[in-house]
A = this chain, B = another copy of it.
C-alpha cells in the first residue's frame, strides 16, 4: 500500500484540495492544474504538485488533471468511498451534535448507534441510544471498527477498554485524557475545549493590552 508513509501534513492538505475541487461550479473547466489549485488556495505550487502526484497518476503536462478524476482519486486515497461504520459512546450535548451532523457521510463515516449509561431510546436524529452494557457485544456482532468517544474524562479509559474488547481498531476521542491502548489501536484526539481556551486566552491578553494603552 505505501499509504502508511503518508505524512500527517499531506493528510491535512488533501481535504482542502477536495473541498475546493467540489466547490467549483458545474460549468467550470473540466481540467484543473496544480498551479490553479495552488493559486486558489494560497499555497506553494511545488507542494501542491507533489501532493497531487502522490494520490493521482492522472496529471498531464500543460493540461493538468481531469477535475472529476482528481476528486475520485483523492476520495479513494482518503478512504471516503469505503463507508466506515462507527459507534458513538456518550449521548450528551456533544455526542448528540455529532449524531445529528449530516456532513460525516461526505467522509464515508456512518454512525450506526450510540451508547450511554442512561440510554434514551433514540435521539432527535433517529439514531438509537443503547445501554452501555450492550456495547462490546454490539461491536463484535456488527464488526464495528471505529468508536467515537464523547464520554466524560473519567470514564474514557473504561469505555475504550470495552471498545477494544469488542474488536474496535480506531478510536476518535473528543475531550478525553490520553488513553492506554495496545499498539495496533489508533487513537485520534479532538480537543475543541483546548482550542476555545487558547482563543479565550488570546482575547483576554488583547483586551488587557488595549486597556493598558
Which chain B residues border A97 with CB–CB below 8 Å?
A: 97-98, 100-101, 103
1/0 contact string of A179-213 vs chain B (CB within 8 Å): 01000101010111111111111111111100000
In whole angstroms, what is the CA distance A98 to B3 when docked?
32
Shortest Cβ gap from A85 to chain B (Å): 11
Which chain B residues border A152 with CB–CB below 8 Å?
A: 19-20, 23
A4 at the binding interface (Cβ < 8 Å):
yes
Task: Check A191–B12 contact: CB distance below 8 A.
Answer: yes
In whole angstroms, what is the CA distance A193 to B78 when docked?
10
A82 at the binding interface (Cβ < 8 Å):
yes
Which chain B residues border A122 with CB–CB below 8 Å?
A: none
A169 at the binding interface (Cβ < 8 Å):
yes
Task: Check B42–A175 contact: CB distance below 8 A.
Answer: no
Most chain-B CB neighbours within 10 Å: which of A13, A103, A109, A199?
Answer: A199
Task: Check A205–B19 contact: CB distance below 8 A.
Answer: no
A1 at the binding interface (Cβ < 8 Å):
yes
A16 at the binding interface (Cβ < 8 Å):
yes
Task: Check B8–A42 contact: CB distance below 8 A.
Answer: no
A137 at the binding interface (Cβ < 8 Å):
no
A131 at the binding interface (Cβ < 8 Å):
no
Query: What are 24 pairs between A and B in contact, CB < 8 Å?
Result: A1-B204, A1-B205, A3-B205, A4-B201, A4-B205, A8-B194, A8-B198, A11-B197, A15-B191, A19-B153, A19-B175, A23-B152, A23-B154, A79-B203, A97-B103, A107-B193, A107-B200, A145-B203, A145-B206, A169-B202, A170-B202, A172-B199, A186-B198, A188-B198
9 smallest CB-CB distances across A and B, nearest first, come from: A79-B200, A15-B193, A93-B103, A186-B202, A23-B152, A97-B101, A170-B199, A188-B195, A19-B153
